Structure formats: C-alpha cells, structure tokens
Chain A
Amino acid sequence: MARTRFRSDRGLTLRMGGVGLGLVLLYVLFGAMLISVAGSLWVAVIITLGMAWGQWYFSDSLALKSMGAHVVTPEQAPELHAMIDRLVALADMPKPRVAVAVTDMPNAFATGRSPNHSAVCVTTGIMQRLDADELEGVLAHELAHVANRDVSVMTVASSLGLLAGFLTRWGMWFGGGSRDKNSGPAMIVVVLVSLVVTAVSFFLTRALSRYRELSADRSGSYLTGRPSKLASALVKISGDMGRIPTSDLREAQSMNAFFIAPALKGDAAQALFSTHPPLQTRLDQLARIGADLTERR
C-alpha cells in the first residue's frame, strides 16, 4: 500500500559505494604491504591509529573546544532547543547536545562518535542571518550527519590515509640514515607506496565527504519536508562566506569537513580537493526532492 516519499538516490549510493570500495581495496593493499615489508613499523601504526581513535572518541568535545563553542541549556536557548526537540522526535533519534559558538561566521556543524554521543553547534552568525525555517533546514542537515554516523565513517575512511602520510614523512626523515643495510630498499618501497596511498586516499576521502554532504542534504530535507528552505539557507550562507576576511577563517580550516558550507573559498578547479559539493549541485538535488514531494499520486 503506502510507499514512502523518501527515495534513496541510486546513483549517489552507487558512487559512494564505489568510492568506499576503492578505499577498502587501497587500504587492504597498503596493509598487506606493511605486513610483508616491515615488522618494525608497528610503533608508527599503533601511534597513528591510536591518534585517529582518540580523535574519533573525543570528537564532540574536541570539535566544540576548537570552535570555542559552549553547550547551551533549554533555558538559555529555548527556540533552538524547541526546534531540535521536534526534529529529533520526527527522526526518532536521541537528542544531541546543543552548542552555540559566538562568532560572526555563519556556520553550523555536527560532531560526535555516535548518535548517543553527539553535539550540534551553530554560530551566532548563522542565527542572525537565517530565518527560523532556514535554520531548521540547516539543523536537519546536521542531524542527518549524526544519523548517518558521518564522523565515524570519515574517521575510518581517513585513518589509514593519515598513517600513509605519517609513514611517508617518517621514512623521508629517518629512512636514509638507517644503519641496517637490508632495510634500505624495503624502506624506499614503504615510502613510495605510502606516498601513492596518501595521494589516492586524499582524493577518495574528499569525494566521499562530498557524497556525504549530498546525503545529509537529502535526509535533512526529507525530515523537514522543505528542501527549498535549506536551499535558500545555503545560498545565503555561501554568499556571506565569500565576503568574510580570510584571516578569521584560516583558524577554522581543520574543522572544514563538518561545516555545512566550507569556510574557505576554493577555485572552480579545486572541485576535486573540496570537502563540499558545489553549491549548484546541492541546489539541483534539493530542487529534485522538492519535485518528489509535490508529485501527486
């Protein structure tokens, strides 16, 4: 009888699956190389994976700290809480902690290792610029990040890439000065392979991040039923972002992956490097969702 109006985008799922598969293959090959070539690298492996794990485990408090955000109670921000209360009741998910960062940069992000340990943060800038419906669209997008477990997915996706990058640098500093003659050629192989793995995994994780953004746009706008509000919020934020002096934004660079719109302005040619899809792609998708909702049966 009833079919839901929520349609998963098959093309998007396939592309995301393809990128994920590519990452898994890359990492399996990389892992096999590590095991076969050098047993002495285990210290580096443990340190890097430990760091990635720590970043994942403490992601909510780390992200809030690095943005200078503070958690607000329902008494301090009643409208924001009421809005999120309704959205989580619609989505039937646990309520994340709500935080506000006092900065004029209009932005919002979600973080946390699982839906039970998550936080949603908005800046005072975004609350001033958007009206209630638009802000709700943005919050639904962030809650979709939480429901999709994007922090976990991106941590797993990027952790071995981090390890490869670490090994590349480490090998370059110390590999040449090795006293053990036999390990010389092996070290060169490790460094070269790590270099390639770093580069490839960089582009794959960026692609994955862009697909996750599109997914969050989809899920979020199905939750509110108002894709056009999210679209107008995106247009407002993107327009505003370009006018903000870059000196403020550089500090926020490490947080970019979890922002609703990237804080750094990239050239058109940088599409491959960017963590977020182009504005037009996002607007086109939201327009299609709007058409799905309007369709009569």
Chain B
Amino acid sequence: MGFLDGILGRSKPPKANLDVLFSVPQAALTLEAEGFAFSGHGAVCFRDAEGRADDEVIASAQEMIRTDPTATVEMHHDEFGFTWLEVIRPTGDVSGLVTDLHAVNSTMAAQGFDASMLCSTVVFEHEGHRSALVYLFKRGTFYPFVPDPSAARRRDNPTELRMRALVENDVPIEADLGRWLAIWGAPGL
C-alpha cells in the first residue's frame, strides 16, 4: 500500500504473489529425506466474495484440474467464511499438485480476485501425523503448521521449528512468528 493511498483513504488488499509456489517441490525433496513424506493433499484458501462471478471462476478452475484423471478436487467452507479448494494427488506427485494449485490461483487472479487469496497448503506426513507447509500469498513466504496430535488446538512447536530449519534454504520463510497463522481443521490435516 502506497503512502498516498493511505492519505487518500484508498488502501486496498495487496495482490497475491503466485510464482514462489514453484519452489515447493525442492522443499518437499528436502523434507522427504528427513521423514516428512508428501501426503498427496494440498489446498488453496481464499475469500469467497459475494455474487456469482467468483463462483464461476472457481468452477472453471476445478474443471481444469479434473482434466487430469489422477487428481481430484474438493471444495470446503470453514467457520470463518473462507473457502478451501482441496486438491488430492494420491500418486504423491508434488510438482503436479503445485501446478494444480497455481492453476487455481492464476485463474482467480486473472479475474481480479487475487486480493482475496489467503493461503495455500501442502500437507506432509511424519510418523503418522500430518503437518503442513503453509504459503502466505500476500507475504510471499512460507511457514510450517503442525497440530499437536495429543491435544486439541495445540501446535507442535518443536516439529514446526524443525521443519523451518529444514526448508529455510529452499523456500522463503516468514520471519515474523506472529504471522504463523493457525489453520485448525484445514482440509488434509
């Protein structure tokens, strides 16, 4: 947001940074070597705006993903009014998943909805528990999110910090820990 926009009261949501997502396959390789296997799940989280215009965009994005028979796509609505488009690649093809996620993002961005993109997740499995690498569209950065399996709504911070240390050379990591948003109940987790 520019200073002038602030003075004139025109501050607007920033645009999403989409291309950084393509660094995920490298991070997935690094994580796999340490026992974090790609689970086949990934998702895009965005704000479902009023009206039918964005619904049509989402429908066409889903169709685009379904053209690949190995990928399935599901839509979820969470209690915060955000919509999740979950892509499942049972074969564990990370690059295919990232391409799918990018297809959703760029379709939405082309229709002017890039301001409403919140985050994107790629889900991993480690010792039977799910963990996620979350991409913040507006920051262009990643952070790990690992729910603690032993307690409801508690994060497994040691594993999160371990994941950060593993991937920090592959993807840009969100430096401000205060922005490591918890995403309880995200699809695939």
Contacts and interface: CB of A to CB of B under 8 A. Distances in A.
A146 B33 CA distance: 45
B47 to A, nearest CB: 5
Contacts of B178: 95
B112 to A, nearest CB: 4
A215 B118 contact: no
Interface stretch (A188-196, A217-225, A251-259): A217-225
Label chain B's interface by main secondary structure: loop
A2 B11 contact: no
B113 A5 contact: yes
A129 interface: no
B69 interface: no
A2 B138 contact: no
A147 B10 CA distance: 9
A17 B182 CA distance: 41
Given A5-B112, A85-B181, A95-B178, A219 B7 contact: no
Contacts of A2: 109-112, 114
A227 B47 CA distance: 13
Given A4-B114, A211-B9, A293 B138 contact: no
Interface stretch (B50-58, B90-98, B125-133, B144-152): B50-58
Interface stretch (B12-20, B22-30, B158-166): B12-20
Size class of A's contact patch? 35 or more
B13 A90 contact: yes
Interface string A208-232: 0001101110110011111110000
B8 interface: yes
B6 A149 contact: yes
B129 to A, nearest CB: 23
B49 A225 contact: yes
Interface of B: 1, 5-15, 47-54, 56, 79-82, 109-116, 118-119, 136, 138-139, 178-179, 181-182
Interface of A: 1-6, 8, 12-13, 16-17, 82-83, 85-86, 89-92, 95, 132-133, 136, 144, 147-150, 153, 211-212, 214-216, 218-219, 222-228, 290, 293-297
* In the complex, the 10 A-B pairs of residues with the closest C-beta atoms, listed nearest first: A215-B9, A294-B51, A225-B49, A92-B138, A147-B11, A5-B112, A6-B12, A8-B10, A148-B9, A225-B47
